[in-house]
C-alpha cells in the first residue's frame, strides 16, 4: 500500500466523522432549544458504552442567582426516584432480610386487614390497588407529608381500586410504603440506607434523599413554573417530603454511575436485575404503551422512567442492547422531556 494515498484517505475519513459528530451535536442543541438562555434549564447526558457523548447544561439552575445549569447540578428526580426504592428492596431481598412475596402487613401492621393480600411485589409493580394518598390528604394540610404520614392515611382507608394483582394503577403511596419497609427491614433510616448501600458504593457522592434540616443538596437546582408568561419558583409542595416515591436529588454525572450498575453485579446480582427489568404488569391509564418492571417502564427496546413534580420534569431512557442511555433533568414544569429524550437517542442509535 502506498502511504500517501492511505494517509489522505484516513484524513478524509476522520474529517467526515468529525463533521458528522458536529452535525449531531448541533441537532441535539436544536432539540434542547427551549431550555437555553435566561430561563430554567436542564442538564443532558448521552452515554454510549459507558462513555459520555453529550454532557452539558442548558439555561439556569437558579434564576435568583443566575447560576447556570451544569453536569453536576442536582435536580429533584421526582418519580425517577422509584428505581432507587426498588433497588433498595431488591438489595434487602438479596440479603435475605425480606422476600418479595412478603405481605406488606408483615412489615407495616398498621395497615388495615383489607390489605392482607398485598405483597411487596404488588407495590413494586403498582398492582396493589391502593387508593391514591394524594386524594386522602386533608384539604387544610399545611405541613408537608412524610412517608410515615402516608402510612397513617392509608391505615385508615379500607377501600381499594381492585383486588391485589388484578389490575394496574400507578401508586405513589405504594413506593412511600416501600421506603418504610426498607427502614424496618434494615434497621436504618431510608436516606442512610440509600447512602450506604447504593450511593456511596457507586460513587454517587452528590446524590441524596433530601430531608429538610438534614444534609443540604449540593449544586441545587430550584424548580419553576411558567405563570402568566413569567417564571415563578415552585420548588416544594405538600408531597415533596415523601421520599420513597420521589424525594431523591441527583445529577447527570452521578446518574452515569447508576447507569453503569445496570450492566454488571456491582450493585444488584443478575437475578435481581432480571426482576427489575422484567414485565410484571401491563401499564394502563397512562399516555404511553408499556409494561412495568420494578421502578422501570419497559417499551419495546427501551427501559425508561419519567419523573414529574412541582417545578421539575425528568426522564431516563435506556436502549440496553445498544448500551445507549439518555438522561434529561430539568427544573421547570414544561416541556415534558420524554419525547425529546427519544429524539436525542435516535441520533445516536446504530443503524
Cite the active site residues. Answer: 79
What is the C-alpha separation between 261 and 269, in angstroms, rounded?
A: 10
Which 8-state DSSP code applies to residue 193? H
**Among 290, 301, 83, residue whose Cα is nearest residue 168:** 290
Residues 226, 334 contacting (CB under 8 angstroms) = yes
Rg (the chain; Cα; Å): 21
Give the C-alpha distances (Å, rounded to integers) separating 298 from 22, 241, 276, 288: 31, 28, 10, 10
**Among 123, 117, 128, 126, residue whose Cα is nearest residue 89:** 123
The C-alpha cell at 177 is 410504603
Q: 209 - beta bridge partners? A: 248
Amino acid at each position: 500500500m502506498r502511504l500517501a494515498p492511505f494517509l489522505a484517505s484516513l484524513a478524509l475519513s476522520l474529517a467526515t466523522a468529525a463533521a458528522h459528530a458536529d452535525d449531531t451535536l448541533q441537532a441535539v442543541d436544536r432539540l434542547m432549544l427551549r431550555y437555553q438562555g435566561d430561563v430554567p434549564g436542564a442538564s443532558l447526558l448521552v452515554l454510549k458504552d459507558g462513555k459520555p457523548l453529550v454532557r452539558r447544561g442548558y439555561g439556569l439552575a437558579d434564576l435568583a442567582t443566575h447560576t447556570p445549569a451544569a453536569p453536576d447540578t442536582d435536580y429533584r428526580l421526582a418519580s425517577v426516584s422509584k428505581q432507587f426504592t426498588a433497588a433498595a428492596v431488591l438489595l434487602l431481598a438479596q440479603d435475605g432480610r425480606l422476600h418479595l412475596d412478603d405481605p406488606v402487613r408483615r412489615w407495616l401492621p398498621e395497615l388495615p386487614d383489607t390489605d392482607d393480600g398485598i405483597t411487596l411485589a404488588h407495590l413494586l409493580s403498582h398492582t396493589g390497588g391502593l387508593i391514591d394518598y394524594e386524594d386522602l390528604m386533608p384539604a387544610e394540610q399545611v405541613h408537608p407529608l412524610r412517608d410515615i404520614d402516608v402510612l397513617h392515611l392509608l391505615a385508615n382507608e379500607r377501600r381499594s381500586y381492585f383486588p391485589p394483582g388484578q389490575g394496574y394503577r400507578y401508586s405513589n403511596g405504594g413506593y412511600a410504603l416501600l421506603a418504610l419497609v426498607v427502614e424496618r427491614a434494615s434497621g436504618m433510616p431510608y436516606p442512610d440506607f440509600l447512602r450506604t448501600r447504593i450511593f456511596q458504593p457507586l460513587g454517587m457522592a452528590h446524590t441524596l434523599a433530601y430531608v429538610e434540616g438534614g444534609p443540604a443538596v449540593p449544586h441545587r437546582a430550584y424548580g419553576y413554573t411558567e405563570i402568566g408568561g413569567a417564571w415563578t419558583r415552585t420548588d416544594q409542595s405538600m408531597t415533596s417530603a415523601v421520599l420513597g416515591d420521589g424525594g431523591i436529588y441527583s445529577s447527570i454525572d452521578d446518574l452515569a454511575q447508576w447507569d453503569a450498575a445496570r450492566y454488571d453485579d456491582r450493585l444488584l446480582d443478575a437475578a435481581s436485575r432480571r426482576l427489575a427489568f422484567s414485565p410484571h404488569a401491563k401499564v394502563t391509564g397512562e399516555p404511553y404503551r408499556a409494561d412495568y418492571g420494578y421502578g422501570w417502564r419497559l417499551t419495546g427496546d427501551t427501559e425508561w422512567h419519567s419523573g414529574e413534580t412541582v417545578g421539575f420534569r425528568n426522564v431516563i431512557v435506556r436502549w440496553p442492547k445498544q448500551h445507549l442511555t439518555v438522561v434529561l433533568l430539568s427544573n421547570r414544569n414544561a416541556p415534558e422531556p420524554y419525547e425529546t429524550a427519544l429524539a436525542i437517542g435516535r441520533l445516536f442509535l446504530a443503524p
